[in-house]
Amino acid sequence: MTRRYSTKSTSAENLRIVARAIPWKILLFIPVAILIAIPAYVYSSNASKGIMPGMTKFFYNLSAPTAITSPTPQPMLLSTLPQVGSILYTVQGGDSCDSILTYQMRMADAGQIFSDANPVTVKTLNATLGQDCHALQPGMVLPLSPQYPLVALGGVVVKIEATSPQQVLPTPLINVPDAQPYTVDCSGGCLLIVRIAPQVQVRLTVQTTLPIVVGAWVWAQASLARKQVASFPNYPYADPQASLNNMSLQACDFQVNNTHDDNSQGCDQLMPNTIDDDSGSWLFGVTGTAALDHWHYGLHVPAGTRVLLWLTNNNGVLKFHKGNPVYRYDDASHVYVPA
């Protein structure tokens, strides 16, 4: 029987066999596909880098609160600050400390705030007046300070903080660098850092439903920080030596840009105070467009004048009436004199 031998195929022959098995169109398509795929991959890789940030910004803008529009041109910051001070009064025959404070300073609760039943209060009043209230003589000159005074301010919000470490202010969950600043909900209270002069800022506690954003201009009347006296928590006078810079104030009669908060806390709701009992309040301020002129009190004094005036309480709203006492600060004597 004749044997058959199979001839082994070489590598070249195998390659030719494989090449014949692949259609020639596919061989042409592969290099063309590679030439197209590489640039397409590079382009899509670069383009995809902006997809997620773009989508994030889109959905953030869709769900975020409405941004505040730019306010009308803001006033210039104050160059002169309000000054705490006193009024000089010459004791008349028959005067007592209670009667002087009641009639000259309109302090209806003078006899309760400074009471012999609490010797600390009378001792403190004696030190404030520089005379013994039990030994007044006609001709003595007493410096009388306004009780629980307010101050009128305007300025730019530079920072918004919580009023306590436990409070959490609502902030965006996603940081969008190019987004405009958005409003903060201060209905539960906020601490505003407000610049009122180029180098002076105050810490203003507010509670308002108005939207607030950093850069907004705010107006407020606020209770001045009072001097701390041991065993006399309701001591009524501000410290004339205290600086307004970084002073903590409670706001009332509050306005953001051109919108007044008609539901903001009334000044007679700030504690402690005697506004309702006294039927009004003393107010420190500076005349000019960046401060007191905003309230349109119609004071006939030059701009930049430090003043002290009496506001009448009309059903919880403090108003200036013609004939109310107005004093201006005298830089030479460092006291307030009739304007």
What are the C-alpha distances in Å from 214 to residues 78, 153, 158, 242? 19, 17, 5, 27
- pLDDT attached to residue 324: 97
Average pLDDT of the residues in 53-70: 45
- Between 224 and 72, where is the model more confident? 224
Average pLDDT of the residues in 272-276: 94
38-58 as b/e: b if 16+ CB within 10 A = eeeeeeeeeeeeeeeeeeebe
> With bands split at pLDDT 50, 70 and 90, how would you rate the model's confidence at 334?
very high
Candidate ranges 18-22, 34-38, 167-171, 293-297; pick with highest mean pLDDT: 293-297
84/336 Cα distance (integer angstroms): 9
Average pLDDT of the residues in 65-70: 46
261/210 Cα distance (integer angstroms): 7
- pLDDT attached to residue 180: 47
- pLDDT attached to residue 322: 93
> With bands split at pLDDT 50, 70 and 90, how would you rate the model's confidence at 236?
very high
pLDDT digits (tens, 9 = 90+) for 110-154: 999 999 999 999 999 999 999 999 999 999 999 999 999 999 999
- Spatial contact of 187 and 208, defined as CB atoms under 8 Å apart: yes
What is the distance in angstroms between the CA of the first residue and the CA of the last residue of the chain?
A: 143
- pLDDT attached to residue 5: 44
Q: Phi first, then psi: what are they for 223, rounded to 5°? A: -80, 125
10/8 Cα distance (integer angstroms): 7
- pLDDT attached to residue 39: 62
At residue 113, what is the residue type? I
Average pLDDT of the residues in 163-192: 63
pLDDT digits (tens, 9 = 90+) for 15-40: 566 556 556 556 566 666 676 766 65
Domains along the sequence of the chain with CATH: 87-144 (3.10.350)
Is 49's pLDDT higher than 70?
A: no
> With bands split at pLDDT 50, 70 and 90, how would you rate the model's confidence at 270?
very high
Is 6's pLDDT higher than 90?
A: no
Q: How is residue 121 written in tokens?
A: 């209060």
- pLDDT attached to residue 174: 43
- pLDDT attached to residue 267: 94
> Whole-model pTM?
0.75
- pLDDT attached to residue 27: 58
Average pLDDT of the residues in 215-233: 95
